[in-house]
Amino acid sequence: MGRTKRRSLLLRRLRRFIGFLPRILTFRMRRVKGYLFRSSLIKAYLSSAGVAKLQLGAAGNVMAGWLNTSLRPRSSKIVFLDVTERFPFDDRIFDYVMSEHLIEHLPYNDGRFMLAECFRVLKPGGKVRLSTPDLAMVAGLVSPGGEKGASYVKWIASTFPGDVPVDSAAMVVNNLFYNWGHRFLYDFAALKAALEETGFAGVKVCEVGVSGDPELQGVEMHLGKSDLDEEMSRFEALVVEATRPSV
């Protein structure tokens, strides 16, 4: 590569870095602020909450009545929390813990650690609710037949053309495994085993947005803006609830 081309490439990279610099600084400042002030935010929440509810991986989804946490807080109302580290809470203080489309972003052992921390901070009788892409659904996309699966492939390809340039099941399956920071996809059997190994009991599948417990009814927000988005989001999701035994 000639000197002129190297200089041009360097300038392009420099311009790209400068363009991203405000985002980087904003993220760092929010993370530092979230870390420095999280003790007071946690204390204020726990002192006022009649029913203590913890949301992990909130992103920008601030739910009323919940202690909303995220690795990348987008609001001063969201507390910084890294689920791969010990949670900044005492044992047995929450009645509910929930996360939506988070655990698939963690390597398996980190996901197991997160579940163990959920168990630790839940009160006896407390519940955890998790939502994640369903590996069984993903595997079914490459099997012949299935009208809903074919519709899902077309929906993904049209919704994310930059990630899935070709309308094919193989493209969609690989996209679900390797894009969006996904590290490990679960089917019900794998997620049930991971929950039970960390001490949970009564693991059951739920419909998206539906729960027999009013506190967990309608908590999923990963549904999109249209009826088709919602239908496809429901199709791809595995939602489970589990309980920390009372004894």
Selected residue with higher pLDDT from 77 and 211: 211
Range of the domain at 117: 3-243
Mean pLDDT, rounded, for 90-97? 98
CATH number at residue 225: 3.40.50
Of 34-38, 65-69, 83-87, 178-182, which gets the smallest average pLDDT?
34-38
Alpha carbons within 13 angstroms on the beta-carbon side of residue 22 total 2
Percent of the chain past pLDDT 90, that is, above it, reads 50
Position with higher pLDDT, 67 vs 144:
67
What is residue 145's predicted lDDT score, i.e. its pLDDT? 61
Confidence of residue 179 (pLDDT cuts 50, 70, 90): confident
CA R_g for the chain = 20
What does each C-alpha distance from 117 to 97, 109, 110, 202, 209 come to in angstroms? 10, 12, 11, 18, 24
Average confidence (pLDDT) over 87-100: 97
Q: Which of 42-56, 57-71, 155-169 has the highest mean pLDDT?
A: 42-56
Model confidence over 187-219: pLDDT tens digits? 999 999 999 999 999 999 999 989 999 999 999
Confidence of residue 26 (pLDDT cuts 50, 70, 90): low
Give the number of domains in the chain. Answer: 1
pLDDT attached to residue 30: 62
pLDDT at 181: 86
Pick the residue with more confidence: 199 or 176?
199
Higher-scoring residue by pLDDT: 130, 62: 130
Longest dimension (CA), the chain: 72
Indicate the range of 2-11, 76-85, 92-101, 197-206 predicted with least confidence: 2-11
Residue 204 phi/psi, 5-degree rounding, is -145, 155
Mean pLDDT of 130-153: 79
Supply the pTM of this predicted model.
0.79
- pLDDT at residue 178 greater than cutoff 60: yes
144 three-class SS: coil
Q: What are phi and psi of 99, to 5 degrees?
A: -145, 145
Q: Which two tokens stand for residue 107?
A: 């390597």
Mean pLDDT score, 55-70: 92
